[in-house]
């Protein structure tokens, strides 16, 4: 036993050297880009965007590696790199570059949905179906009602609802409540991918969040249809429901066809999957938007079909994992760069109150649902941990609200961004901590 | 045409490119330089069918720069190696000097002819002549490799020509770094010309060293890709921001990594399969960029540059015959075996066309594409004849589809 510490010494020295090299490299990268932006403050060409991708990729990777020593998830590193490099701190990546990187988000969301669907195995769903069903029902119902109520309570401090009549205020609160029950598939997949966690908590979290995706998309569409009369004073239009039905059924139909085609390609050709996935993620998303099909639901369905109706699920998952590893880094770093720090500074008391209320409701309801569903102790204890994060899906839904209700949409979106910022920073840390404590992540034993 | 549709078209071309590179069964189909895709681009471009419009091309400029720079990165990473073999320093030096000789000849011819045939370009005389030299100096390493693979050639002359072609890539890249350093961003105007060239190469070298340090520990394939892509994009972005050459910076990045990394043997097989996948869309878009109306002087300057190159090649060939005993049986045909230009030339031509506005840049692109097409016609035939005379062809009459063991099939790594 006496040689134990000695045998660890070279490894830890090598670890320290690696971290030192990473820290120096990160410093040099920041200095290089800082120097370039100081010499030429304005970028004359869109090549600045490419430089931004490269910088966010490297800085995100290095920051995440350095933060790993503190036990923080990689996502936190990507976000932090984005925040520091972004337009509100060092301004190494400007607003134009951040906006120009929108296709990366499109691609990332498509890959997230595809991977999410492919992770949903029917057998797994059967195992955790009861837990997920109870959880979804209680989280959606109680979360929607309670968090709408909390919004109404703090509404006197919310600038953009001042002067709204009571029915409109209720409408805004219901929209808020619906957004509050949305989760972050990307954060969940990101943490699971980093920790390579396996076990009941990982399975439950994945199944719950992917299923909740579908529920939230449908719920949001229903709530929008329902609250429109409260805003405009008119009645519920059946044509809106028809449009909603068309969108959902169409998305599932397109997703099924896509899934079958993908499965056939994987079986018969199975090569150049990087190009195929990029083509699908960018090209097909645009096409789906054009014909009013929800890309998220379609890709989710496609992944599900490949996993459960063919033998190609693992191949697809592996390909998506390879393609998405770089895309995710840029995706989360962009999210960090997008964080509107001045806005967060202005709205932080309300955002903090709403985020805290959401976290409290999430934890309480998840624990209650687990007890009702008689889940395993590990789920009862930590099942809530993956549900705190919010990111791209929530922001995407807030854009839909801005488009539908322009009269208050922008203010609403600002508050969503501020709240998501908090959840985005705290959520992945909690989930990784829970996976470590549950002994499911590979890093737990270290 | 919608940008997304064009993007999907380019992805389809990339797909075709990677299939062409990866499939053993169809290896050898297509031309070494990708000149047929340049012709396809000309046909699709704004001056012919108009399927790819001018605004659409503009929206794809960043992708063109990335494609060109990525090709330079791969060239830099594999610089100084032919297959598994290192190029001897002496041969590399001769290859560089030979390419410099060609470049100087073309520079001189264009510089001298400009007042006579294109007075409108006199204000950009140095840039025009320099650009022409850049796009005429190199010899594509694929051409030699292609003939060697197709005809199962092996012997000292094949090796010598492959080494010279491999080494020549340095000249157009350094030339391009100098050319863009002539007109940098305003923030660098106070810096001396030499310092600006040094800065271009220094950006690549610094990021190469950072990549080297990060790659030195055991990384997964995804992490390795992240570092390669990240450093490449960052070097392009920083160089472009400073008005310097992204292509030269990424070439230096690749060169630094290739020269110093113990993992070069792993890195090359990783990135080489992407070469053809990037080259084909780049060739199509380069063809679409060709605009004879924007470059009226090209009608005179393209032949002048090409004649100068062919004349200089004769001189280089004569020197080769004099200095290398293995080349003597090949005769003068060996000189024209090296006129083939390819990926690096295409990348340089596109970079110049995008970095500078005006007729001179389009003229340089026309010279690059003209040389590419003509080289494709002349070089493989000349090379085959030269190698046949030197007794290095196993199958002088027709193609063979097997690959000699000395020349690994890079597509297999895919």
Per residue in B76-112, pLDDT (tens digit) is 988 887 777 788 888 888 888 888 988 899 999 988 8
User: Looking at per-residue confidence, does A241 or B100 come out higher?
Assistant: B100
Residues A190 and A95 in one domain: no
Interface of A with B in 60-79 (CB under 8 A): 61-62
- Nearest CB among B11, B237, B241 relative to A278 is that of B11
- What per-residue confidence (pLDDT) applies to A177? 93
* CB-neighbour burial class of residue A137 (10 A; exposed 0-12, middle 13-18, buried 19+): middle
- Give A212's contacts (C-beta < 8 A, 6+ positions apart): A136, A139, A140, A181, A182, A183
Contact B226 A57 (CB under 8 A): yes
Question: B56 lies in which domain range?
Answer: 3-413
Q: Nearest C-alpha of chain B: how many angstroms from A42?
A: 8
- Give B2's contacts (C-beta < 8 A, 6+ positions apart): none
Residues A376 and A340 in one domain: yes
Q: What is the mean pLDDT of chain B?
A: 78
Checking A265-273 for CB contacts under 8 A at 24+ apart, the result is: A266/A306, A266/A310, A266/A312, A266/A315, A266/A316, A267/A310, A267/A311, A267/A312, A270/A315, A271/B18, A271/B19, A271/B22, A272/B15, A272/B18, A272/B19, A273/A319, A273/A322, A273/A323
d(CA B200, CA B191): 12
Over residues B365-394, the mean pLDDT reads 80
- Give A140's contacts (C-beta < 8 A, 6+ positions apart): A181, A212, A215, A216, A219
Chain B residues with CB under 8 Å of A28 CB are 206, 210
Over residues B116-129, the mean pLDDT reads 82
pLDDT at B410 over 50: no
- What per-residue confidence (pLDDT) applies to A151? 93
Closest CA to B341 of B315, B364, B320: B364
pLDDT at A167 over 80: yes
Residues A68 and A199 in one domain: no
Contact A55 B237 (CB under 8 A): yes
pLDDT at A106 over 90: no
Structure tokens at A236: 């519920």
Q: pLDDT tier at B395 (50, 70, 90 boundaries)?
A: low
Residues A78 and A112 in one domain: no
SS3 B86: strand
Per residue in B308-342, pLDDT (tens digit) is 888 888 888 888 777 777 777 777 777 787 777 77
Nearest CA in chain A to B66: A50
Question: A358 lies in which domain range?
Answer: 104-445
Per residue in A112-140, pLDDT (tens digit) is 888 878 877 888 778 888 888 888 898 88
Per residue in A272-295, pLDDT (tens digit) is 777 788 888 888 887 887 787 878
Contact B185 A32 (CB under 8 A): no
- What per-residue confidence (pLDDT) applies to B408? 40
pLDDT at A407 over 70: yes
Which CATH number is A283's domain given?
1.20.1530.20
Closest CA to B388 of B404, B83, B313, B380: B380
A51 touches B at CB < 8 Å: yes
**Most distant CA atoms of chain A, gap in Å:** 80
Of A82, A100, A118, which residue sits at a domain end? A100
Q: pLDDT tier at B152 (50, 70, 90 boundaries)?
A: low
Of A34, A69, A100, which residue sits at a domain end? A100
pLDDT at B274 over 90: no
- Nearest CB among A45, A55, A326 relative to B240 is that of A45
Chain A residues with CB under 8 Å of B227 CB are 58, 61
Region of A292 (left: φ > 0; alpha: ψ -120 to 50; beta: rest) is left
Contact B186 A40 (CB under 8 A): yes
d(CA A59, CA B230): 9
Across A239-253, A316-330, B202-216, B398-412, which has the greatest mean pLDDT?
A: B202-216
Structure tokens at A399: 């854009």
Chain A residues with CB under 8 Å of B273 CB are none
Q: Nearest C-alpha of chain B: how many angstroms from A62?
A: 9
Residues A244 and A368 in one domain: yes
Residues A93 and A109 in one domain: no
Check if the beta carbon of residue A168 is closer than 8 Å to that of residue A374.
Answer: no
Round to the nearest angstrom and report the end-to-end CA distance of chain A: 18
Chain B residues with CB under 8 Å of A326 CB are 222, 225-226, 229
User: Looking at per-residue confidence, does B4 or A193 come out higher?
Assistant: A193
Q: Nearest C-alpha of chain A: how many angstroms from B175?
A: 22
Chain A residues with CB under 8 Å of B12 CB are 279
Over residues A158-186, the mean pLDDT reads 88
Across A215-229, A351-365, B66-80, which has the greatest mean pLDDT?
A: A351-365
Interface of A with B in 236-275 (CB under 8 A): 271-272, 275
HEC string of B108-155 equals HHHHHHHHHHCHHHHHHHHHHHHHHHHHHHCCCHHHHHHHHHHCCCCC
Nearest CA in chain A to B220: A322
From the CB of residue B317, how many other CB atoms can be counted at a distance below 10 Å? 24
Residues A60 and A146 in one domain: no
Which CATH number is B30's domain given?
1.20.1530.10
Chain B residues with CB under 8 Å of A325 CB are 222, 225-226
Interface of B with A in 195-254 (CB under 8 A): 203, 206-207, 210, 213-214, 216-217, 221-223, 225-227, 229-238, 240-243, 246
- Nearest CB among B22, B206, B222 relative to A322 is that of B222
Structure tokens at B283: 């060739």
pLDDT at A317 over 80: yes
Nearest CA in chain A to B224: A326
Per residue in A18-72, pLDDT (tens digit) is 888 888 888 888 888 888 888 877 765 566 777 888 888 888 888 888 887 877 7
Q: How many domains does chain B have?
A: 1
The string of DSSP codes covering A112-176 is HHHHHHHH--HHHHHHHHHHHHHHHHHHHHHHHHHHHHHHHHHGGG-GGGTT--HHHHHHHHHHH
Of A85, A100, A115, which residue sits at a domain end? A100
- What per-residue confidence (pLDDT) applies to B17? 60
3-state helix, strand, coil in chain B (%, to 5): 75, 0, 25
Over residues A81-110, the mean pLDDT reads 78
Q: Nearest C-alpha of chain A: how many angstroms from B29?
A: 19
Mutation choice for A interface testing from B67, B190, B233, B250 by most A CBs within 10 A: B233
pTM (predicted TM-score): 0.77
pLDDT at A415 over 80: yes
């Amino acid at each position: 036993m006496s040689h134990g510490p000695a045998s660890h010494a070279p490894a830890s020295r090598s670890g320290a050297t690696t971290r030192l090299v990473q820290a120096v490299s990160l410093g040099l990268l920041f200095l290089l880009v800082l120097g370039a932006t100081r010499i030429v403050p304005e970028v004359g060409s869109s090549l600045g965007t490419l430089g931004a991708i490269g910088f966010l990729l490297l800085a995100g990777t290095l920051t995440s590696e350095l933060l790993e020593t503190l036990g923080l998830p990689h996502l936190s590193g990507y976000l932090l790199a984005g925040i520091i490099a972004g337009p509100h701190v060092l301004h190494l990546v400007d607003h134009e570059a951040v906006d120009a990187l929108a296709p990366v988000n499109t691609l990332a969301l498509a890959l997230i949905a595809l991977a999410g669907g492919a992770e949903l195995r029917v057998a797994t769903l059967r195992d955790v179906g009861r837990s997920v069903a109870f959880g979804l029902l209680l989280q959606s119902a109680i979360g929607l009602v309670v968090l709408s109520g909390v919004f109404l309570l703090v509404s006197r401090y919310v600038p953009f609802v001042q002067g709204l009549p009571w029915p409109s205020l209720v409408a805004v609160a219901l929209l808020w409540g619906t957004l509050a029950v949305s989760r972050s598939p990307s954060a969940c997949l990101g943490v699971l991918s980093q920790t390579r966690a396996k076990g009941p908590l990982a399975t439950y979290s994945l199944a719950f969040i992917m299923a909740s995706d579908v529920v939230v998309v449908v719920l949001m569409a229903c709530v929008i249809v329902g609250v429109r009369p409260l805003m405009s004073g008119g009645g519920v239009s059946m044509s809106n429901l028809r449009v909603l039905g068309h969108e959902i059924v169409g998305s599932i139909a397109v997703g099924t066809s896509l899934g079958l085609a993908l499965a056939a390609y994987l079986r018969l050709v199975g090569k150049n999957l990087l190009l195929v996935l990029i083509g699908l993620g960018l090209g097909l998303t645009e096409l789906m938007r054009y014909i009013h099909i929800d890309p998220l639901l379609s890709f989710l369905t496609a992944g599900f079909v490949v996993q459960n109706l063919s033998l190609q699920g693992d191949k697809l998952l592996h390909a998506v994992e390879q393609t998405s590893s770089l895309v995710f880094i840029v995706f989360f770093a962009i999210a960090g760069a997008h964080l509107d720090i001045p806005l967060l500074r202005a709205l932080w008391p309300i955002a903090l109150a709403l985020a805290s209320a959401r976290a409290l409701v999430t934890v309480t309801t998840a624990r209650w649902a687990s007890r009702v569903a008689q889940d395993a102790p590990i789920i009862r204890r930590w099942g809530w941990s993956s549900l705190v994060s919010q990111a791209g899906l929530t922001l995407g839904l807030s854009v839909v609200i801005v488009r539908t209700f322009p009269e208050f949409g922008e203010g609403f979106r600002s508050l969503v961004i501020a709240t998501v910022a908090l959840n985005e920073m705290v959520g992945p840390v909690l989930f990784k901590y829970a996976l470590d404590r549950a002994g499911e992540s590979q890093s737990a034993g270290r | 045409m919608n940008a997304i549709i064009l993007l999907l078209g380019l992805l389809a071309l990339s797909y075709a490119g990677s299939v062409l590179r990866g499939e053993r069964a169809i290896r050898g189909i297509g031309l070494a330089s990708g000149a047929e895709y340049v012709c396809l681009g000309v046909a699709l471009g704004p001056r012919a069918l108009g399927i790819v419009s001018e605004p659409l091309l503009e929206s794809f400029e960043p992708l063109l720069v990335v494609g060109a720079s990525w090709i330079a990165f791969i060239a830099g990473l594999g610089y100084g190696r032919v297959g598994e073999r290192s190029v001897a320093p002496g041969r590399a030096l001769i290859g560089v000097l030979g390419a410099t000789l060609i470049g100087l000849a073309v520079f001189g011819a264009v510089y001298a002819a400009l007042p006579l045939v294109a007075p409108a370009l006199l204000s950009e005389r140095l840039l025009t002549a320099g650009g022409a030299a850049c796009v005429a100096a190199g010899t594509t390493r694929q051409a030699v490799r292609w003939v060697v693979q197709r005809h199962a050639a092996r012997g000292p002359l094949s090796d010598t020509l492959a080494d010279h072609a491999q080494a020549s890539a340095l000249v157009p890249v350094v030339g391009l770094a100098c050319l863009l350093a002539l007109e940098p961003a305003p923030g660098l105007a106070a810096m001396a010309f030499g310092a600006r060239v040094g800065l271009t190469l220094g950006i690549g070298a610094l990021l190469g060293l950072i990549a080297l340090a990060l790659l030195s520990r055991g990384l997964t394939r995804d992490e390795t890709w992240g570092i390669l892509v990240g450093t490449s994009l960052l070097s392009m972005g920083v160089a472009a921001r400073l008005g310097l050459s992204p292509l030269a910076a990424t070439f230096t990045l690749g060169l630094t990594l290739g020269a110093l990394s113990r993992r070069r043997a792993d890195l090359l097989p990783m990135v080489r399969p992407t070469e053809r996948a990037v080259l084909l869309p780049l060739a199509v878009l380069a063809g679409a960029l060709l605009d004879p109306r924007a470059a009226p002087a090209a009608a005179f300057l393209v032949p002048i540059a090409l004649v100068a190159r062919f004349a200089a090649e004769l001189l280089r060939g004569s020197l080769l015959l004099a200095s290398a005993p293995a080349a003597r049986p090949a005769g003068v045909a060996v000189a024209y075996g090296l006129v083939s230009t390819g990926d690096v030339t295409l990348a340089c031509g596109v970079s110049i066309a995008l970095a500078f506005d005006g007729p001179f840049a389009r003229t340089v692109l026309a010279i690059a594409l003209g040389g590419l097409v003509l080289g494709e016609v002349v070089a493989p035939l000349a090379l085959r004849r030269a190698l046949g005379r030197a007794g290095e062809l196993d199958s002088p009459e027709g193609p063979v589809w097997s690959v000699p063991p000395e020349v690994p099939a890079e597509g297999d790594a895919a």
